[in-house]
Chains A and B, each alone.
Chain A
Amino acid sequence: MLHQNDEELLADESFINYCLKRNEADMHAWMKIVRDNPGAAAHIEELRTLVILTSKGVQNIELKSQIAKLGRRIELAEETVASVSPVLGTRSISRKLMVAAACFLLIAATTIYYFVSSSNSSTSYRSSYITQPAEKKSLVLSDGTKVILNADSKLSIAPDFGNGERSVQLDGEAFFDVAHNASKPFVVHTTRMDIKVLGTAFNVKAYETDDLFETALIRGSVELSLKKEQKTIMLHPNEKYVLREVQPQVASSVESTTSREIHGEGLLPVKIDKVDTSIVEVSWTENKIAFVDEPFAQVVKKLERWYGVPIIVNDGVLLENLYTGSFRNESIEDVLSALQFSKPFTYKKENDVIRISK
């Protein structure tokens, strides 16, 4: 019989190779195990199905996110080309003119390319900043804009940053204090909304993998463009906009649908920490982790990123509980112990993983 439990099998290199048909030796070994243990065959087949579904799932998600990024870069590149294309607008021009136009375009394109590449001598083309879970970075961009990048996030600077628009792309959470320059709007692109500003301070939370996208404004004013919804929204100080991904409802979903009703969507006031009247959305920039009436599902996600530790919640009911609290420089154990007081649960830490149950 098998000596491994389900989880061990699902993470077993040779078992995964068998499921994916990626290694002759592993495939033969497992086919033999299945033949020798007819009683376990059905169960192994179930686990194999889970691995295959996971394989398809990760491929879909990876491609979706990479294609979105590529699409965004193509769009940016074409905006640059569009600014020189009026030359092509005139129809029925003579061949000579066409050649001349082509030459001009070539020169224009070369010049633009040269300009772009030379202006980036200090910031390379592939300029991006990445933080791991449990890590934060403070940056100053070439225009003087200050950025604090929260954990598990990536900020990419457009190759033509500063020539016209100041474009950056964000997957994750960041606080921006934008250097004022009315002639060069600062734009934060995310997969689901773009945020355009002149000079202001605001927080963007846009993890590609999260359901919730939000922008909170501290001062100044910003304009949001929601991509799918194709509408724009003006934000005023101490307001935030929350965008929720509508997940397809699955009839047999075991995972709870959490907080959809509890957590609002749309234009909302920022949350205020009653203890020190600070703004919760940007508390992370001061090394403080804070929740105000936050569903446990969100709390867990924040803690995972903050401390870089995977957390497993064994009971879906817990995910809907609301928590309030703020912590600075405390260990994850201290935070969990404090939260236990408000609505009880138990937790234990083993092998760099935290398990939470009722």
Chain B
Amino acid sequence: MRNDVPINYCWQAFVLNESRDAYYELYRHYYAYLSYIGLKKGFSTEVVKDTINDVFLYLWEKRRSLQHIHHPHNYLLTFFHRSIINGMRPANVLIEDINEECKDEYEGFAEPSFEQDLLDKESQERLSALVNRHLNYLPRQQREIMYQKFYLGLSYAEIASANKISINTVYNTVYAAMQKLRTSIPTSAVASLISLFAVLHLFFS
């Protein structure tokens, strides 16, 4: 997780100023983490995605009555947890009742981090555009599988059960998608962009 200071700041901007930007920033911050928790607990992709949006829709609607929350992080986790466990609309989860002291079970979850100097900014943008274009082409379920594998870092077995398909199908999907990517973007194109410096750091790290 990113550190908590900007998140508390976003929360304040959201509940006090009703800032939409701060609200979406919170969403961007928590989306991966909540997905990870929900899927780790064995809920399906569909239920996890819907619950996250249900919870955030409810937060937006109730933004004026959230000023008493002092630990937004704990509050959000408990709220999400309770909604998904009980299969409830968030509206039916009693908001005053939420224990803000809840324990963060997956404190170990870290979003993938990248070296900033991996590529120069311009090459990175060019390559990203190519990769994104290719990924955009994938049908929805394949895209979800790729997200679960390459961003959340779930195992093949976990992804198979979240999507109610076989491990083989998940593997074949990832394999085919990466092969397509690999043929449309030969690694030689990547190679010419990686600075020698970036490669050297491998030997000294």
Seen from chain A, the residues whose Cβ lies within 8 Å of a Cβ on chain B are 6-8, 10-11, 13, 16-17, 19-23, 31, 34-35, 38, 41-43, 45-47, 49-63, 66-67, 69-70, 73-74, 77, 113, 125-126, 128, 130, 132-133, 152, 154, 171-172, 207-209, 247-248, 250-255, 301, 304-305, 310, 312, 314, 316, 351-353
Contacts and interface: CB of A to CB of B under 8 A. Distances in A.
A252 B130 contact: yes
B57 A77 contact: yes
Interface in B182-205: 182-187, 189-191, 194, 198-199, 202-203, 205
List 10 tightest A-B contacts by C-beta distance, closest first: A10-B178, A310-B176, A46-B187, A22-B153, A20-B112, A58-B147, A11-B175, A55-B150, A53-B131, A7-B179
Nearest to B87: A126
Nearest to B61: A77
A250 B130 contact: yes
B126 A45 contact: no
B106 to A, nearest CB: 12
A309 B58 CA distance: 39
A6 to B, nearest CB: 6
Given A58-B146, A207-B139, A20 B129 contact: no
B67 interface: no
A35 B53 contact: no
A85 B187 CA distance: 58
A70 to B, nearest CB: 5
Nearest to A58: B147
A326 to B, nearest CB: 22
Contacts of B41: none
Contact of B203 (A41, A43, A69, A207): A41
A21 B54 CA distance: 31
Interface stretch (B10-18, B70-78, B96-104, B166-174): B166-174
Given A58-B143, A133-B141, A21 B151 contact: no
Contact of A74 (B60, B113, B136, B147): B60
A52 B187 contact: no
B9 interface: no
A70 B134 CA distance: 25
Interface residues of B, number: 79
B114 A254 contact: no
B192 to A, nearest CB: 10
A63 B175 contact: no
Interface centre among A62, A172, A312 (most CB of B within 10 A): A62
A254 B132 contact: no
Contact of A22 (B112, B131, B168): B112
A54 B146 contact: yes
A250 B133 contact: yes
Contacts of B155: 13
A8 B179 CA distance: 9
Interface in B128-166: 128-144, 146-147, 149-151, 153, 155-156
B198 A45 contact: yes
Contact of B202 (A41, A50, A209): A41
Interface of B: 24, 27-28, 31-32, 46, 49-50, 52-54, 56-57, 60-61, 89, 91, 110, 112-114, 118-119, 124, 126-144, 146-147, 149-151, 153, 155-156, 168-169, 171-187, 189-191, 194, 198-199, 202-203, 205
A252 B53 CA distance: 37
Given A35-B203, A61-B132, A252-B126, A52 B50 contact: no
Nearest to B35: A62
A62 B52 CA distance: 13
A188 B14 CA distance: 31
A255 B128 contact: no
B112 A42 contact: no
A332 B182 CA distance: 25
Given A58-B151, A73-B53, A209-B140, 10 more contacts: A6-B182, A10-B179, A19-B112, A20-B153, A50-B187, A53-B124, A67-B27, A70-B27, A128-B50, A209-B137
A113 to B, nearest CB: 7
A11 B49 CA distance: 25
A248 B129 contact: yes
Given A70-B53, A130-B46, A11 B137 contact: no
Contacts of B118: 49, 52
Contacts of B169: 352
Contacts of B151: 55, 58-59, 62
Contacts of A46: 187, 190-191, 194
Nearest to A34: B202
Contact of A21 (B112, B131, B141, B176): B112
A10 B180 CA distance: 11
B56 to A, nearest CB: 6
B126 A251 contact: yes
B143 A310 contact: no
